[in-house]
Amino acid sequence: MPHYNTIFNQLFNFIPRHRFDKMVESLKMNKYSKGFTAWRQFLTVLYAQISGKDSLREIESGLLTHKDKLYHIGLTPVPRSTLSDAMSRRVPLIFEELFYEILSRAQSMAPKHNFRFENPLYSIDSTTIDLCLNVYDRGQQ
């Protein structure tokens, strides 16, 4: 199976896997998992966010479509029922801790830049904003 160096794969160079695993262990996040680990859930959710998937069915079919390209990073197709169960049972605290870990790494790499989150942080996916020039009146020229 060929190795694909995707942008998605390159993104994982910034994620401290060993720290994630330690957080999972300390929070006992994989205690009742039957193979769908917290790491696999994280990869799946990140894939869904980056690729703009809106439903569990879209996530499932997208993973099936790209399984040969995603296998090398440990991301494999997951049934939507398994993902649904994990999302409802697993506490999202691990993702909050991962955010602060990555923030800490970013601050150490760019100490002169002042990263502050005094207000709520909202992430907006640009795929939610549809723009079409046909909708706007361009006037006669």
Mean pLDDT over 44-61 rounds to: 89
Distance CA 20, CA 46 (A): 14
pLDDT tens digits, 4-30: 566 777 777 778 888 889 989 988 888
pLDDT of residue 64: 92
pLDDT of residue 60: 94
Q: 46-62: string of b/e by CB count within 10 Å (b at 16+)?
A: bbbeeeebeebeebbeb
pLDDT of residue 127: 55
Distance CA 97, CA 101 (A): 6
pLDDT of residue 89: 86
The residues spanned by each domain of the chain are 7-135
Distance CA 117, CA 104 (A): 12
Distance CA 137, CA 134 (A): 8
Query: Is residue 122 very low, low, confident or very high in pLDDT (cuts 50, 70, 90)?
Result: low
Nearest CA among 17, 74, 75 for reference residue 62: 75
pLDDT higher than 80, residue 118: no
| Percent of the chain clearing pLDDT 70 (strictly above) | 76
pLDDT tens digits, 30-48: 887 778 999 899 989 888 8
